[in-house]
Structure 1
């Protein structure tokens, strides 16, 4: 990953959060190294997950949470038709395209975190069965969530990659 101006200007807590997120973003993207589109779309376990699908999902999650930080809660669609398509590579999608979108999500994260007046900026969470009613999350809490989400899915991708060709990303 290249160093950006934002990386050099973030200090303290912001720099620590961004560096931790950047490390896990690297591991998720690294699982896709040298894969073909077909391999990136392959399901190698009993789950529906693929490496390309995980990268696509995390990209969408990042944009959704950054929108939350910037604009507050949006209605959450539960049981939405086509929801599964957010976890898989669809015809016409390429690994290169998904990785480019993922890199853009990382740049957007870095820029937003650098521009916030503080990490305590918060909004109430949208109504959803998995959120505590009336809870609010700060930008800091969102970043911690994105770190956890990215790390979890990097681990999933590592297992999938090992099943494809034995390559390990984190072992």
Structure 2
């Protein structure tokens, strides 16, 4: 997990706040927004480990206002800085590491909350949750690399 977090953070090196908020593709994604999104995802899934399905909410009951607030996780909002976004990501990562160290094991599971993409009755173990966070982070680190290369030609690898 630390490896993929490092790649995502590396992709934002030497950027201004304006650059971190700039869209470079037809998608809504920007580098700062990707870091915010991965931060939110990691925080939510660790909350799930600690609190169960209520921490993730019921996706079937989300309103348009809920979806609009969720969309804010994918962009830099006025007043947000790249340094602030990265610090929040570091804080969430520290918390995740503390929670994982304190777990009695990785086999304890929780039921997933209702969502159109969750099979009713499905449970995820702590191991499965951590693999999900790793996968999400790695996927978005790849997206970030594309955005960064489109922004100024810089690459995280190669």
Q: TM-score range by the shorter chain?
A: over 0.9
Q: Give the TM-score normalised by the residue count of structure 2.
A: 0.93
Q: Equivalents in 1 of 2:119, 2:92: separation in Å?
A: 27
- Residue of structure 2 in register with 1:59 after alignment: 39
Unpaired runs of 5+ residues, structure 2, are: none
Shift of 1:83: 2.2
1:76 aligns with 2:76: no
Aligned residues: CA RMSD: 0.9
Instruction: Kindly report structure 1 stretches of 4+ aligned residues shifted beyond 6 Å.
Output: none
Q: Equivalents in 2 of 1:28, 1:62: separation in Å?
A: 14
1:137 aligns with 2:137: no
Shift of 1:27: 0.3
Shift of 1:130: 1.2
Unpaired runs of 5+ residues, structure 1, are: 1-20
Q: Give the TM-score normalised by the residue count of structure 1.
A: 0.86
Q: Equivalents in 1 of 2:149, 2:84: separation in Å?
A: 23
